[in-house]
């Protein structure tokens, strides 16, 4: 655990009845860092954010913000955007920001915040009449009215169009540059890769991997790959000096319609093309890609899901065995 | 400034949100009006003939006021709390300096203005339509305010423990209707079975009705309480009950999931 952590979670556990939301989640976020929490639905991201902001009480473990309990920390230094947050819908965007600003002693001018989230022209529109993306940007603005030192954003760009998303991204980058600590959850790997200094992957209630995006990609993302759109059998590439296989995932198309050449540099693509020509192997396209955070996510989340499923199966098997023993 | 500023910000947002819901505004005022028209003008008070409305018109003034002092906070607060929960607004507010008590106080202030206006309308209509002869005592304002505080607290409790707006409104109706008719508002204690008196005494609305009646209609002969003038004594009881219910209401408002 880093000594200078502004936000810390140690062994947080939380269950809702039979459902385990957090099972020993730990993380530490340093001052001025942007930390992205990624993970599949139900992994515990929102519960972890709630535990860190004091809006849920963990069953065990400890959460600290700026060295204090989340419920004791100075609220004026926090900005929180909950997931699925809906403010009063018959206030204008400007009135909403003025309302939330009015809850703090030292607040920013709502007009400045509106401009920051790219809504300077729609300040007089009722919240309910804004588009979904504009509404989400107002909600992001509501977290910025007090110029927080620590900002929690639970899926801040959900429902925002690409241009609006980039506005929010630039905003977060500016905040980080000015020293604000940001913890965000997202399903958008491009968002995490662009914004985050470090990423934590949450699965089944635990942070199963954390590190810089580059380190995670290096450790878990696999190798660079050349995808060849062809129906040829991978065995037809036996003489190629790179390993070749069917893709594990092929963007919604059949895995039988492509092969993947791994561990290949861009300079070596020409040799593959020569190989295809020499063997008269038909192909319709070539795509070269380096591994990215999405590969990390899919690899680790898949592994965690397999482990979880195996564990559930084990429990079921043991239960069946006990029942069988009792019956006998 | 800080506490006052937070309450002012919350009150301002609550007021704007309310007045922009025209249907809610219309029915908030229409409900007591239609009640007075039906009971006061159509059914009519007939002191000589017995039946439900056997007392002089002035006797029922606390009942008509109770309609808005009881029902408006119960249903508005219940649904407001439920709406806040559904929109994760309390989760957001829990991370701001606004406390639960301040939030409830701000919402109570909004209700006080609405109910104050509705009460004026009711008093005017009762006098015009039923010919009730009442005394306009300034302490009426205190009764309405304290009543609003009490039932806003109760509404907050209902909203906190029901799981939806529909549930909150249904619960407020289920609790409000018996309270309205079994608190010496429209039905006097003599018209109820003797064993029911302790239950009547448990209702905070009873003290509202007795006190308002004592203040506005001296001929009603409302009894002293432990030798204290009934106007002050009933207000005192209502203040204590309101403080307790308001505190429980504020504590009931969820800060966590």
Query: How far is A262 from A247, CA to CA, in rounded Å?
Result: 10
Token pair for B16: 């704007």
With a CB-CB cutoff of 8 Å, which residues 239-268 of chain A face chain B? none
Q: Nearest chain A Cα to B99, which residue?
A: A103
Put simply, whether A231 touches B (Cβ < 8 Å) is no
Residue A149 lies in a domain: yes
* Min Cα–Cα distance to chain B from A87, Å: 6
Domains in chain B: how many in total? 1
Q: Do A75 and B13 touch (CB under 8 A)?
A: no
| Residue-level pLDDT at B50 | 56
Residue B150 lies in a domain: yes
| Residue-level pLDDT at B198 | 86
Q: Do B96 and A84 touch (CB under 8 A)?
A: no
* Min Cα–Cα distance to chain B from A239, Å: 60
We report the CATH number of the domain holding residue A229 as: 3.30.70
> Which residues from chain B sit within 8 angstroms of residue A76, using beta carbons?
97
Q: Do B13 and A99 touch (CB under 8 A)?
A: yes
Q: Do B94 and A102 touch (CB under 8 A)?
A: no
> Which residues from chain A sit within 8 angstroms of residue B88, using beta carbons?
82-86
Mutate to test the interface with B, among A54, A80, A93, A103 (most CBs of B within 10 A): A103
A9 strand-pairing partners: A27, A63
One domain for residues A148 and A280:
no
One domain for residues A195 and A232:
no
Mutate to test the interface with A, among B8, B17, B81, B91 (most CBs of A within 10 A): B91
Residues 6+ apart with CB under 8 A from B126: B36, B40, B57, B60, B61, B64, B132, B134
| Residue-level pLDDT at A220 | 85
Q: Do B9 and A84 touch (CB under 8 A)?
A: no
We report the CATH number of the domain holding residue A208 as: 3.40.50.300
| Residue-level pLDDT at A328 | 54
Print the domain residue range for B24: 2-252
| Residue-level pLDDT at A1 | 45
| Residue-level pLDDT at A2 | 45
DSSP B222: P
Question: Which residue among B9, B20, B91 sits closest to A99, beta carbon to beta carbon?
Answer: B9
Backbone angles phi, psi at A77, to 5 degrees: -100, 0
Put simply, whether A15 touches B (Cβ < 8 Å) is no
One domain for residues A178 and A247:
no
Residue A296 lies in a domain: no
Helices (H), A243-292: 269-278
Residue A312 lies in a domain: no
Token pair for A156: 């801040």
Put simply, whether A80 touches B (Cβ < 8 Å) is yes
Residue A210 lies in a domain: yes
Between CA B121 and CA B133, with CA B127 as vertex, the angle to 5 degrees is 135
Residue A42 lies in a domain: yes
Token pair for A175: 């905040």
B55: number of Cβ within 10 Å: 19
* pTM to 2 decimal places: 0.86
One domain for residues A73 and A211:
yes
Q: How far is CA A103 from CA A142, A234, B137, B247, in A?
A: 11, 64, 37, 21
Q: Do B92 and A87 touch (CB under 8 A)?
A: yes
* Min Cα–Cα distance to chain A from B15, Å: 10
Residue A181 lies in a domain: yes
One domain for residues A235 and A200:
no
Residue A309 lies in a domain: no
Q: Do B256 and A99 touch (CB under 8 A)?
A: no
Residue B25 lies in a domain: yes
> Which residues from chain B sit within 8 angstroms of residue A85, using beta carbons?
87-89, 91-92
Mutate to test the interface with A, among B10, B11, B23, B94 (most CBs of A within 10 A): B94
One domain for residues A32 and A63:
yes
One domain for residues A35 and A183:
yes
- Per-residue pLDDT of B37-84, as tens digits, reads 887 777 765 655 555 677 888 888 999 999 999 999 999 999 999 999
One domain for residues A92 and A212:
yes
Encode chain A (328 residues) as per-residue pLDDT tens digits: 445 799 999 999 999 998 999 999 999 999 999 999 999 888 999 999 999 999 999 999 999 999 999 999 999 999 999 998 999 999 999 999 999 999 999 999 999 999 999 999 999 999 999 998 899 999 999 999 999 999 999 999 988 889 889 988 999 999 999 999 999 999 999 999 999 999 999 998 999 999 999 999 988 888 888 999 998 888 888 888 888 888 876 556 666 789 989 888 888 899 999 999 999 999 999 999 888 888 888 888 877 777 767 766 776 677 777 676 665 5
One domain for residues A160 and A244:
no
Residue burial A130-151, b: 16+ Cβ < 10 Å; e: rest: beebbbbbbbbbbbbbbbbbbb
Q: Nearest chain B Cα to A77, which residue?
A: B96
One domain for residues A249 and A104:
no
One domain for residues A118 and A19:
yes
Residue B209 lies in a domain: yes
Domains in chain A: how many in total? 2
Mutate to test the interface with A, among B85, B96, B97, B255 (most CBs of A within 10 A): B96
Last residue of a domain, one of A170, A186, A218: A218
Print the domain residue range for A90: 5-218
Where chain B has pLDDT below 70, the residues are 1, 44-52, 257
Query: How far is B19 from B184, CA to CA, in rounded Å?
Result: 32
One domain for residues A93 and A61:
yes
């Amino acid at each position: 655990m880093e000594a200078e952590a502004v936000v810390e979670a140690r062994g947080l556990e939380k269950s809702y009845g039979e459902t385990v939301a957090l099972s020993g989640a730990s993380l530490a976020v340093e001052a001025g860092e942007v930390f992205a929490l990624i993970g599949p639905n139900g992994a515990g991201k929102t519960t972890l954010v709630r535990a860190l902001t004091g809006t849920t009480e963990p069953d065990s473990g400890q959460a600290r913000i700026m060295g204090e309990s989340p419920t004791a920390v100075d609220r004026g230094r926090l900005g929180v955007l909950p997931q699925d947050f809906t403010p009063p819908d018959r206030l204008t965007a400007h009135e909403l920001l003025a309302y939330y600003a009015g809850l703090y002693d030292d607040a920013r001018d709502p007009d400045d915040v509106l401009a920051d989230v790219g809504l300077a022209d729609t300040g007089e529109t009722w919240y309910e009449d804004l588009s979904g993306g504009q509404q989400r940007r107002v909600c992001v603005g509501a977290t910025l009215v007090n110029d927080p030192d620590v900002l929690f954003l639970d899926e801040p760009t959900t429902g925002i169009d690409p241009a609006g998303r980039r506005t929010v991204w630039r905003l977060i980058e500016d905040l980080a540059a000015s020293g604000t600590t940001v913890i965000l959850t997202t399903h958008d790997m491009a968002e995490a890769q662009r914004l985050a200094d470090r990423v934590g992957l949450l699965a089944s209630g635990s942070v199963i991997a954390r590190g810089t995006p580059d380190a995670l990609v290096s450790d878990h993302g696999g190798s660079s790959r050349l995808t060849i759109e062809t129906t040829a059998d991978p065995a037809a590439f036996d003489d190629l000096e790179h390993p070749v296989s069917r893709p594990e995932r092929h963007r919604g198309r059949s895995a039988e319609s492509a092969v993947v050449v791994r561990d290949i540099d861009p300079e070596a693509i020409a040799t593959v093309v020569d190989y295809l020509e020499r063997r008269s192997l038909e192909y319709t396209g070539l795509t070269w890609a380096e591994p990215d955070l999405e590969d990390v996510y899919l690899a680790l989340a898949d592994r965690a899901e397999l482990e979880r499923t195996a564990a559930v199966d084990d429990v079921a098997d043991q239960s069946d065995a006990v029942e069988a023993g009792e019956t006998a | 400034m800080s506490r006052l500023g937070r309450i002012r910000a919350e009150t301002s947002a609550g007021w704007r949100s309310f007045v922009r819901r025209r249907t809610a505004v219309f029915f908030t005022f229409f409900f007591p009006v239609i009640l007075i028209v039906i009971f006061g003008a159509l059914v009519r008070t007939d002191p000589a003939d017995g039946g439900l409305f056997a007392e002089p018109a002035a006797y029922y003034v606390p009942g008509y006021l109770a309609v808005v002092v009881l029902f408006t906070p119960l249903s508005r607060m219940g649904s407001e709390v439920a709406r806040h929960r559904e929109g994760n607004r309390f989760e957001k507010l829990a991370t701001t300096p606004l406390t639960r008590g301040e939030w409830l106080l701000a919402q109570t202030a909004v209700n006080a203005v609405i109910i104050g206006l509705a009460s004026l309308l009711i008093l005017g209509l009762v006098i015009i339509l039923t010919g009730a002869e009442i005394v306009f005592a300034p302490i009426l304002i205190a009764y309405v305010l304290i009543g609003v505080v009490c039932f806003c607290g109760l509404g907050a409790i209902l909203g906190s423990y029901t799981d939806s707006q529909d549930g909150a409104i249904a619960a407020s109706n289920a609790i409000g209707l018996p309270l309205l008719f079994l608190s010496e508002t429209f039905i006097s204690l003599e018209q109820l079975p003797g064993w029911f008196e302790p239950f009547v005494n448990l209702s905070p609305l009873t003290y509202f009705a007795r006190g308002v009646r004592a203040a506005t209609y001296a001929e009603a002969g409302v009894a002293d309480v432990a030798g204290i003038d009934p106007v002050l004594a009933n207000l005192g009881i209502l203040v204590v009950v309101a403080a307790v219910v308001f505190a429980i209401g504020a504590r009931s408002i969820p800060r966590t999931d």
